[in-house]
């Protein structure tokens, strides 16, 4: 999903603390090639300072101020001031959020961190930091990270999929995130499972109000629920993978159903997007059999005699969210240096 939004800094009142932060950004030790990336999660927030050549100057984590919007704005302001004090003012700031920014209103929507919803987060951050801040969905940040210098580096088109607690994805074409008027590009998790068998219809109920969404089959909880329906055993996705490795026939059958469904669901998008590389992320990207199984299953569903799409595990793993946020800010900068990409 894509909610790319860059809002210019304002000259409005922003409170004493942010004035202090702003003064720090004006210091003469600025590192215009550096990018500050912040990954705002539900329970923890991560920051990274990436040099122009991709070197990590530092990466650190702090708890997220759960349920408090103003404290969230202050936290990001303070992280930026901290980074500027230690490394000089970065050239750009990007923030990944568990939601999207509606292009028409500039308000956050669909955020699991519900205290962000309906708020003009980009405008408020720009006011607090005294500079533009780029915002995007966390799945978009994952895709951008892997496309920029990860498993999809150099590819013309990269589809980054997160298979975790939920299912999300982002699409990068020629190095740039695909976005649209609804800020939902890549919201593949809430499309129906294609070519369903009789016992897959209507499919499990989804929180979005529909049934049979891809997410209800392919996420970690979706995999666990499928195993429970088939065997009666209540295991997590990780426990199912371990049982399958130990030779458990029921667990192996569950993983085979999951892989076959993932092949169908991705084939449907390959038929539309024809991505050069698909990168898997999230906890289920650790299921090593997927990288062997999917290319073998695709020819049945992809409308091409030979499928050349490459499927890859993530290069940056858990770091991709925060790295992608840094790349995002660098992209959104009004006048990026040519050396930065
Ligand atoms: Zn759904």
**The pLDDT of residue 58 is above 90:** yes
Ligand 1 center to 96 CA (angstroms): 22
Rounded mean pLDDT, 60-74: 95
What rounded mean pLDDT belongs to the chain?
A: 89
Q: Are 240 and 230 in contact (CB under 8 A)?
A: no
Q: What's the 206 CA to ligand 1 centre distance in angstroms? A: 5
How far is the CA of 56 from the CAs of 2, 30, 52, 185, 323, in angstroms? 25, 17, 10, 29, 9
pLDDT for the residue numbered 331: 86
- CA 5 – ligand 1 centroid, Å: 25
Closest CA to 210 of 232, 187, 228, 180: 187
Asked whether residue 315 carries a pLDDT value surpassing 70, the answer given is yes
Query: In the prediction, which pLDDT does 24 show?
Result: 45
pLDDT category of residue 333 using cuts at 50, 70 and 90: low
Report CA(204)–ligand 1 centroid distance (Å): 9
Q: Separation of 190 CA from ligand 1 center, angstroms? A: 4
pLDDT of residue 334: 53
Ligand 1 centre and the CA of 188: distance in Å?
A: 9
For residues 216 and 203, is the Cβ–Cβ distance under 8 A?
A: yes
DSSP 171: E
The CA 216 to ligand 1 mean position distance, Å, reads: 7
For residue 221, how far is its CA from the centre of ligand 1 (angstroms)?
Answer: 13
Per-residue pLDDT tens over the stretch 95-130: 999 999 999 999 999 888 899 999 999 999 999 999
200 CA to middle of ligand 1, Å? 15
Map 226-293 to HEC letters: HHHHHHCCCCCHHHHHHHHHCCCHHHHHHHHHHHHHHHHHHHHHHHHHCCCEEEEECHHHHCCCHHHH
> Considering only CA atoms, which of 333, 330, 302, 285 is closest in space to residue 169?
285
What are the pLDDT digits (tens) for 194-243?
Answer: 999 999 999 999 998 999 999 999 999 999 999 999 999 999 999 999 99
Q: What is the pLDDT of residue 29?
A: 61
Least confident of 32-36, 196-200, 332-336: 332-336
pLDDT at 22: 43
**Structural domains present in the chain:** 5-137 (3.30.420.40), 151-314 (3.30.420.40)
Tokens of 339: 């050396």
Confidence of residue 31 (pLDDT cuts 50, 70, 90): confident
Alpha carbon of 112 to ligand 1 centroid (Å)? 14
């Amino acid at each position: 999903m894509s909610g790319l939004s860059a809002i210019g800094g304002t000259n409005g009142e922003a409170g004493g603390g942010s004035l202090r932060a702003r003064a720090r950004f004006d210091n003469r030790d600025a590192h215009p090639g550096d990018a500050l990336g912040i990954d705002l999660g539900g329970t923890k927030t991560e920051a990274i300072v990436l040099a122009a050549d991709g070197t990590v100057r530092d990466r650190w984590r702090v708890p997220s101020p759960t349920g408090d919007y103003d404290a969230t704005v202050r936290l990001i302001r303070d992280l930026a001031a901290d980074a500027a004090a230690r490394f000089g003012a970065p050239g750009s700031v990007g923030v990944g959020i568990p939601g999207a920014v509606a292009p028409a209103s500039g308000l956050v929507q669909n955020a699991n961190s519900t205290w962000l919803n309906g708020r003009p987060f980009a405008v408020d951050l720009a006011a607090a930091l005294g500079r533009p801040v780029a915002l995007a969905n966390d799945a978009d940040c994952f895709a951008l990270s892997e496309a920029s210098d990860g498993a999809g580096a150099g590819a013309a088109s990269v589809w980054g999929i997160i298979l975790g607690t939920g299912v999300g994805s982002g699409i990068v074409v020629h190095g740039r995130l695909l976005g649209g008027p609804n800020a939902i590009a890549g919201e593949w998790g809430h499309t129906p499972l294609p070519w369903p068998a009789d016992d897959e219809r209507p499919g499990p109920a989804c929180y979005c109000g529909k049934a049979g969404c891809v997410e209800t089959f392919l996420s970690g909880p979706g995999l666990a629920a499928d195993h429970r329906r088939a065997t009666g055993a209540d295991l997590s996705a990780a426990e199912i993978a371990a049982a399958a490795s130990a030779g458990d026939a029921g667990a192996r059958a569950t993983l085979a159903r999951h892989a076959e469904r993932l092949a169908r669901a991705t084939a449907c998008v390959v038929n539309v997007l024809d991505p050069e590389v698909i990168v898997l992320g999230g906890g289920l990207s650790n299921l090593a059999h997927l990288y062997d199984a999917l290319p073998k299953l695709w020819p049945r569903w992809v409308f091409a005699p030979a499928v050349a799409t490459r499927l890859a595990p993530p290069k940056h793993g858990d770091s991709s969210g925060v790295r992608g946020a840094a790349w995002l800010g660098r992209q959104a900068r009004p006048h990026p240096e040519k050396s930065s990409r």
